[in-house]
Structures are given as C-alpha cells and as structure tokens.
Amino acid sequence: MSNTYRWQFSSEAVHSELGDTPETLLNDGVEIKANPVRRVIRNGEYFLKCDRRGVARLLREWKSAKLLRASEIPVVEYLACGNSPNGGCLITRALPNSESVADFYYTNFVRNHENPKAFLDSFAAFMRIIFNSGLFHPDFHIGNILYDKHNHKFVLVDAMGIRKSTLFDRLFYNYRMWRIVMELREILDREQMIRLIASCKIPNPKLFYDRALDREADMLWKEWPKRRNQILTGYPKFTRQIDGVLHVVDPLRQIAETIDCEVIENEDTDTLEKMFLAHYFLQLAKIPHRRAKAYDPEGGKLYLEIVPARAIPVRASDQRERMTAFDLPSEPIDWLKDNDGNVRFFNLKRIANLM
C-alpha cells in the first residue's frame, strides 16, 4: 500500500520551508513518545505526531489550534497536517528555551526549593486569560503548557479537543479546567493555595480548595488499581525494571540513584511492596514524603532516601489536612522538618498499612 501523504500547510512560507514531502523528517527523527496507536518524533526544531488511526483526530487538533490563535491565546506553531493510507501526521515547531510547566515547577520549586512567588503570579495571569476566553480544554493540565524561561511566557502545546464552552461545559465541567491549580499544591500551604486560586479568579476560593482536596482524593483512589499495576509491571512513566529490580522513575522521567540510600530489609515482601507503593501514592497525591528509590522483590530490599541529619518532629497541619482527604490519618510525630525547614512525611510503613 502506498504511504504517500496529502498535506495542508499553515501558510505558503511553511510549505516552502518543509517542501512537498515533510514526511521525510520521520526517517532520521528521534522517537520521544509512543503507544500502540500513536507516536511522537522529534527532528531538529520539528515535532511530528503520527496517528495510525488516521488523520481525523489530528485535524480536530489542527482546527482547535486555529481557534486558540483567533482568541489570541499563545499556542505552539502548527505547521502542517497530512494524511496517508497508513495514518495521519501533524507537524509543530519546537519552542526554544522552554519546558513543560510540570517539569519546570518540579525542578525549580519542589526539588530545588526556590521561591515560586514570581512564577505563580505569572501563571495566575495566564490562567485568567484562559478562563476568560470562553474556551474549554478537555485535557487541561500543566504538562500541556510550555514555559518559555527566557521570556517568562506560557504557551499551550496540545490543542486537542479545545472548543467554545457550552452551557453544559460551564455547568458541569468547570472543574476540569480549574483543577489545574491543584497540580501546584505540593509545596504550597493552605493560605498560599487560596491566594493562588483567588488570583486565578476562580469563584469562592476557600470552598473550592476544600472541595477540590476531596475531589482529587476520590480521583486518585479510583485510578489507583490501574496505577498500582503500572508501577509493579515497569510502566516507563513510573518504574524501570533492571536485572529484576524496579527502579523509581521520578516526575522528570529520570531514574533515581540508589547510591547512599538506606536499605530496608528483613521485612516480608508484602510489607516492602506496600511501602514502595506508598511512595508513589503520596507522590501522585502531591504530599511531601520520604521517597523510595528502588525495590528488589527477589532480594527483599527497599531503597529509601536518607533521613536528613538533625531532622525533628513537627506539626504539619496543612499536610495532615490533605492526608485526611484520603481518609489516611497521621500524627505530628510522623512528620519531620529537615535542615531547610521542609516538612516531609517519613513513616512510609505506617501509611502503607493504612492504604
């Protein structure tokens, strides 16, 4: 069967830039994401999204990007969309000096403990533009927003499914847009979260936050059986199995080092597995904790980060409230403050028994 593409281009200039056969970019590109029906290839400054099911879904994204531009909302440059008997292909241009908000936030503020105030102010301003646009994005999360670090600007990277909000969307689906602020909660206390919610112009910030904690907990409990299976079978988003050992993949998709870890052994396999899963549960719940690095089910070993020197027990009221949303109680002695003043939950064995 012929694999000849029929292309439409965003402009004549782009047509001249890419030529008549942009599909040749697939030949020496690097695959950065793949599943049974879709894959993403990068070749230089171009991203090529290929869908074996055909071009229909990609065309919807192509049209959604036009809707964003018409609403003056920053979006990556969509260059061309093509169809062939073997599937569709969508080409966008990479944004220099940028990374996803998810990666930027985790690197700078969760891991490196930098002050997030200036970033949050800019983020809230961008959210106000999105929320006031009258558009609905069915998959609105921080992984779908790029942050241009040099120009301090935000740009949407995935326009799939964006549409003008209907009355039904406004009545029943507002939370699917507003919940994006909850993805930033790991390092923010209650008052900081309420200020951020208010700055985004989400109505009734205190009530929203209280209800959102419960909704996020319910959502995670419902998806936990699937996540648990992915973690234990080496799904690349969570773990990498090397010589029978499950190595943790952190939110930056980096494999955790096991050097200088505390090794927990002389426990039954079931307990070690539950403690390993407790790390991931707390990570998905965005609750600070003692992070696991690897799990060796055959050798009966769990590798955990070292407890900081001179760490002291501390009352962590905001984090305890978040635990309560999951029906997982904690005591003050379960929380430790490290030398930098960061509060973390270290009693993984206790939380594992509660799950």
Residue holding tokens 């670090």? 149
- Is residue 154 helix, strand or coil? strand
Mean pLDDT score, 268-290 = 95
pLDDT band at residue 170 using 50, 70 and 90 as cut-offs: confident
Predicted pLDDT of residue 3: 64
CA pair distance 321, 318, nearest whole angstrom: 5
Domains present along the chain, CATH in parentheses: 6-93 (3.30.200.20), 98-203 (1.10.510.10), 220-354 (no CATH)
Cα distances (Å, whole numbers) of residue 249 to 100, 132, 281, 334, 341? 17, 37, 14, 25, 26
Mean pLDDT score, 10-26 = 94
291 pLDDT above the threshold of 90: yes
Predicted pLDDT of residue 271: 95
- Across the beta sheet with 239-242, what order do the strands follow? 239-242, 245-248, 292-296, 301-304, 262-264
CA pair distance 114, 130, nearest whole angstrom: 26
| Residues linked to residue 87 through DSSP beta bridges, in sequence order | 84
**Among 7-16, 222-231, 266-275, 337-346, where is mean pLDDT lowest?**
337-346
Classify residue 98 by its DSSP letter: E
- Phi-psi category of residue 153: left, alpha or beta, with phi > 0 → left and psi -120 to 50 → alpha: beta
pLDDT > 90: percent of the chain: 80
Mean pLDDT score, 228-239 = 94
Residues 173-230: pLDDT tens digits?
A: 899 999 999 999 999 999 999 999 999 999 999 999 999 999 999 999 999 999 999 9
Mean pLDDT of the chain: 93
Predicted pLDDT of residue 310: 87
Residues 124-161: pLDDT tens digits?
A: 999 999 999 999 999 999 999 999 988 889 999 988 88
The dihedrals phi and psi of 92, each to the nearest 5 degrees, come to -125, 165
- For residue 191, what is the enclosing H or E element? helix 190-199
1 pLDDT above the threshold of 50: no
How far does Cα 181 stand from its chain's mean position?
12
Residues 57-81: pLDDT tens digits?
A: 999 999 999 999 999 999 999 999 9
| Residues linked to residue 104 through DSSP beta bridges, in sequence order | none
CA pair distance 277, 114, nearest whole angstrom: 28
Say if CB 181 and CB 202 are below 8 A apart.
Answer: yes
Residue type, 239: T
Mean pLDDT score, 91-117 = 94
